[in-house]
Structure 1
Amino acid sequence: MTNLPKHVHFHEEGPREGFQIERGAFPLADRAALVDALSETGLEEIQVSSFVSPKAVPQMADAEALFATIRRKPGVRYDAVWLNERGYDRARATPGVHITGRIALYASDAFAMRNNNCTAAEMRGRVNDWLDRYAADGVPMERALVMAAFGCNFEGEVAPSRAVGELVWAWNTCQARGMAPPRLYLADTMGWANPQAIRGAIGMLRDALPEAEVGLHLHDTRGLGPANVLAALEMGVSHFDSSVAGLGGCPFAGHGDARGAGNICTEDMVFLCHEMGIETGIDLEALIEAARLAERIIGRPLSGRLMHAGSLKAYRQRRAAA
């Protein structure tokens, strides 16, 4: 494991991706309390909400109010998701939203139609308009992400070359315009990845763009999330999207029980890193308490393991005190 990173960065998405898929609404004060609890853990980035159609995702209809309610901690970036110009304009008009340039692409036409009402090629066609807007607004590019990078519930298998090709295109497009190249994210939106596929896609992407920084957005839909994280860590990947307590999932991903489609669990993956000697800058015990708060808010057992079992650090401390 000589390629293990020294430090891993987790981009927390639970407050947004977690609640968008839940049935029904949850009180604004409870969701703000979860963001505030996560702010005290050492996480540097928290995705608070999304500025999307309230008809399509009613759970996110109060994004502006949520940003107005949270208590911001210095040094923490509070960001959001948008899918179109209207959402972007709402995000920019909302105080406290950290705005960075991002490109969203698809390795599946079927999923692109469900999620963005366009084909993958049409999504590419919109990128230059976004880059124009970001440049005009002085917004720096940060990430390019390709969804359904490992497989699609509507289209089936996805060739690694297709997902990698989308990211290479995004990189080259930014370079050609004199914009800083983004970090490149492979997103296992529907839980099709396995460790071998993770290694293969990362290797192919690095062969094509040796200088690129690679990140992963993984879902634990079919139980391979932690194994996929480990495979990526062994290849030196140090940027992961994750969700506290294993919350999350895409409401348009076509899972029979969408609530079973959570993202990789932040506290469980932080624990994995710490046990392997990898730094994260995160207070694991505080993160566990935030996960327990998330479970109380949702009102049913969530998929995170550590919040139920406790960390080994806490166990060792109890043993030492006995």
Structure 2
Amino acid sequence: MSDLPKHVHFHEEGPREGFQIERGGFSLADRAALVDALSETGLEEIQVTSFVSPKAVPQMADAEALFAAIRRKPGVRYDAVWLNERGYDRARACPGVDIGGRIALYASDAFALRNNNCTAAVMRERVNAWLDRYEADGVPIERALVMAAFGCNFEGEIPPERAVGELVWAYRVCRDRGLALPRLYLADTMGWANPQAIRRAVGLLRDALPEAEIGLHLHDTRGLGAANVLAALEMGISHFDSAVAGLGGCPFAGHGDSRGAGNICTEDMVFLCHEMGIGTGIDLEALVEAARLAERIIGRPLAGRLMHAGTLAAYRGRRAAA
């Protein structure tokens, strides 16, 4: 337990990854209100939307309008996702988007074809062109992320060496060009990870690149999200992607009609950290209220636990008063 981090950073993805998988439309005002509520919790990064094809993901068709509707809070970074140059150009042209360069890679050809309409090898081939573009535009590289790092619903088991190899390759490409790559993310896109797999993949990546900082993008699809976060915390991992109220999921991940748990739930994982004495800089009560707002907007019970059970603050207050 001596490797526990002192502070954990959560990159909130609920407004983007949460709403992209939900059927039907949700009002611009409601989605902007959720982003604004999240802005008041102490979260430092919020992923607002995706600049992607409205035919493929109609829920994200009004990306520019959503950015225009939110109230930006100083000190909060508001980012977005794109999958190709057209989406990148839209994001750069949209006022209010905090642009950071990303390298997207796949450990699964089958998922790459569904999600990006190309193979994992072709995604690799495109990296240098993206790096050229980022350099030309003066955009710093933020992260490299390998999707389906622990398993794939279409391809099955993914050897950890394959996912780690993709990130090691990206890191070395950037290094050879004199570019910093601040963080390497292993993404459990389809909920295949378990604590042992987390330890093995993180260990392999650390052995290959001891100087690199590692982050995790985890899903709670099969109920192991919190266990996987705990395993990562015990290895000193301090950067996680998460989604308020447990929203989220990839529409191309092959979960059928399931609308169960999505990404690891931000407020539940913040609670876990606080209970273990790990700082986050987040106002947990405000975050729980944002989760309840998300549930009201979606209109059905969501997967987060803390927003239904409440924090322990009130109970501890009663004991102290007694």
> Which interval holds the TM-score relative to the shorter structure?
over 0.9
RMSD: 0.8
Conservation of the 8 A alpha-carbon contact between 2:18 and 2:249: yes
Conservation of the 8 A alpha-carbon contact between 1:21 and 1:258: no
User: What is the identity, as a one-letter code, of the residue corresponding to 1:219?
Assistant: H
Do structure 1's residue 287 and structure 2's residue 314 form an aligned pair? no
Conservation of the 8 A alpha-carbon contact between 1:104 and 1:144: yes
5 Å-filtered alignment, 1:166-177, equals: 166-177=166-177
Number of the residue aligned with 2:206 = 206
User: What is the identity, as a one-letter code, of the residue corresponding to 2:119?
Assistant: T
Structure 2 distance, partners of 1:110, 1:198, is: 22
Number of the residue aligned with 2:101 = 101
Number of the residue aligned with 1:271 = 271
Number of the residue aligned with 1:8 = 8
5 Å-filtered alignment, 1:45-194, equals: 45-194=45-194
5 Å-filtered alignment, 1:24-39, equals: 24-39=24-39
Do structure 1's residue 313 and structure 2's residue 313 form an aligned pair? yes
Structure 2 distance, partners of 1:212, 1:151, is: 23
Number of the residue aligned with 1:302 = 302
How far residue 181 of structure 1 moved from its aligned partner, in angstroms, is 2.0
User: What is the identity, as a one-letter code, of the residue corresponding to 1:116?
Assistant: N
Structure 2 distance, partners of 1:256, 1:61, is: 23
Q: How many residues align?
A: 322
TM value normalised by structure 2? 0.99
SS in structure 2 of the partner of residue 288 of structure 1? helix
How far residue 319 of structure 1 moved from its aligned partner, in angstroms, is 4.1
5 Å-filtered alignment, 1:202-241, equals: 202-241=202-241
How far residue 191 of structure 1 moved from its aligned partner, in angstroms, is 0.3
Q: Indicate the percent of aligned positions where both proteins have the same amino acid.
A: 88
User: What is the identity, as a one-letter code, of the residue corresponding to 1:246?
Assistant: G
Structure 2 distance, partners of 1:318, 1:110, is: 54
Structure 2 distance, partners of 1:91, 1:314, is: 43
How far residue 176 of structure 1 moved from its aligned partner, in angstroms, is 0.8
SS in structure 2 of the partner of residue 103 of structure 1? strand
How far residue 256 of structure 1 moved from its aligned partner, in angstroms, is 2.4
Structure 1 distance, partners of 2:193, 2:23, is: 26
How far residue 321 of structure 1 moved from its aligned partner, in angstroms, is 4.6
User: What is the identity, as a one-letter code, of the residue corresponding to 1:245?
Assistant: A
Structure 1 distance, partners of 2:162, 2:191, is: 17
How far residue 129 of structure 1 moved from its aligned partner, in angstroms, is 0.6
5+ unaligned residues in a row in structure 1: which ranges?
none
5+ unaligned residues in a row in structure 2: which ranges?
none
SS in structure 2 of the partner of residue 20 of structure 1? coil
SS in structure 2 of the partner of residue 114 of structure 1? helix
Conservation of the 8 A alpha-carbon contact between 1:255 and 1:261: no
Conservation of the 8 A alpha-carbon contact between 1:249 and 1:258: no
Structure 1 distance, partners of 2:97, 2:321, is: 44
Structure 2 distance, partners of 1:69, 1:309, is: 32
User: What is the identity, as a one-letter code, of the residue corresponding to 1:309?
Assistant: A
Conservation of the 8 A alpha-carbon contact between 2:261 and 2:303: no
How far residue 318 of structure 1 moved from its aligned partner, in angstroms, is 4.0
SS in structure 2 of the partner of residue 202 of structure 1? helix
TM value normalised by structure 1? 0.99
